[in-house]
Structure 1
Amino acid sequence: MRFKLFAASLLPVVTTFASADNTSCKKVVDVTDGSSFSCLADTRKLVGVKLAKIETPTSRQPYGSASRKALSDLVLGKRVVVQVQATDQYDRLVGRVYVENIDVNARMVSSGAAWTSRLYNLDEGLLNLENRARKAKQGLWALPESERSPPWKWNKTAQNKIREKEEPFARTPSMLILPRVNRSI
């Protein structure tokens, strides 16, 4: 019974794919972070790729380097197929990535190296894998809660801290602009 449950949980991870929008890459040459990499496409063009529907810690966040290593272990130096869903503002292909029929996006979430993105269309399969990883305290889910800020929240907090540092001085009540008073009396 346990084997059947385990096998069923892997269905989203090990999958086959067929789409007219697939891009094949001969070799992944660089992993930028836990959710993006560069690869040499079959057309001999260097292509940037972003894993769709997942978010990983930034390099400055706890577990950021571990997430990058997890993606490197899965794709670096390997042939991948990208099931393209979109192109982002940096001209990267955004999509599901497969290495030897393994869904890399799902594997990143199931190993606890990534969150399911809450910013775009929520993928129920990925959300289920995230919940399992969370319950098993895998990957980033083993960190204390205070260190597990998802990037979409962490980035806002980091931007606010940068703005505070850019403020050259503290505003005081004496700096307020008061209305002009007629002084000719």
Structure 2
Amino acid sequence: MKFSLVMMALLLVFSCKLKTLTGTVVRVADGDTFTLLVDGNRQVRVRLHGIDCPERGQPYSRVATGHLRTLLAKGNIRVTEMDTDRYGRTIGIVYASGVNVNESLLANGLAWHSSAFDRNPVWVELEALAREQRLGLWAERNPVAPWDWRKTRR
């Protein structure tokens, strides 16, 4: 009985294999969105999963964008696709030369963890540590979450 349950679980895990993209970055739009060139000439817009960086006009927006550019410039970009958003962008966990880009932005205080879309306890802790150390946007007196900032712009 236990053996068959284990085998069923393993089959489920392997059948739910996540799709991975690799390519070259051709444009960085902001701190959590970029365009990846895959298969030689197909462009894919990628939005980082589970995080939200400051919007243009918010404090630390340019810093977050610069940090993303620096990480992606290292090359060897790999995106683990998690979903597609309503704008058709690929939502993914991004690795640049083995560095988890999503986690780097959180750890450096350049992004909020989007707990509505992600329940990763490691990412919750990364944000908490950045807040505690007052890194990046957490050095601000009253940082405004991008989702709240966007509501005021509509």
Aligned partner letter, 1:157: T
Task: Render the CA deviation track for 1:24-81: whole Å, top value 9, x for unaligned.
Answer: 11x1111101000001113421111000000010011111111111111111472310
Task: Render the CA deviation track for 1:6-34: whole Å, top value 9, x for unaligned.
Answer: xxxxxxxxxxxxx5411111x11111010
Aligned equivalents of 2:35, 2:124: Cα separation in 1 = 26
Q: What is the identity percentage for the equivalent residue pairs of Structure 1 and Structure 2?
A: 33
Task: Report the equivalent of 2:84.
Answer: 87
Equivalences, count: 138
Q: How does 1:7-18 map to 2 (within 5 A)?
A: none
Say which of 118, 128, 132 aligns to 2:129.
132
Aligned partner letter, 2:144: S
Aligned partner letter, 2:148: K
* 2:153 is equivalent to residue 158 of structure 1: yes
TM-score if structure 1 supplies the norm length? 0.70
Task: Report the equivalent of 2:110.
Answer: 113
Greater share of strand: 2
Mark the runs of 5 or more structure 2 residues left unpaired by the alignment. Answer: 1-16
Task: Report the equivalent of 1:182.
Answer: none
Aligned partner letter, 1:149: V
Aligned equivalents of 1:29, 1:78: Cα separation in 2 = 11
- Kindly state the Cα deviation for residue 135 of structure 1 after the two structures are TM-superposed: 0.8
Q: How does 1:143-154 map to 2 (within 5 A)?
A: 143-145=140-142, 148-154=143-149
- Kindly state the Cα deviation for residue 119 of structure 1 after the two structures are TM-superposed: 2.7
Runs (4 or more) in structure 1 with deviation over 6 Å come to none
Task: Report the equivalent of 1:174.
Answer: none
* 2:44 is equivalent to residue 44 of structure 1: no
Aligned partner letter, 2:75: K
Aligned equivalents of 1:101, 1:129: Cα separation in 2 = 18
Tell which structure's C-alpha radius of gyration is larger.
1
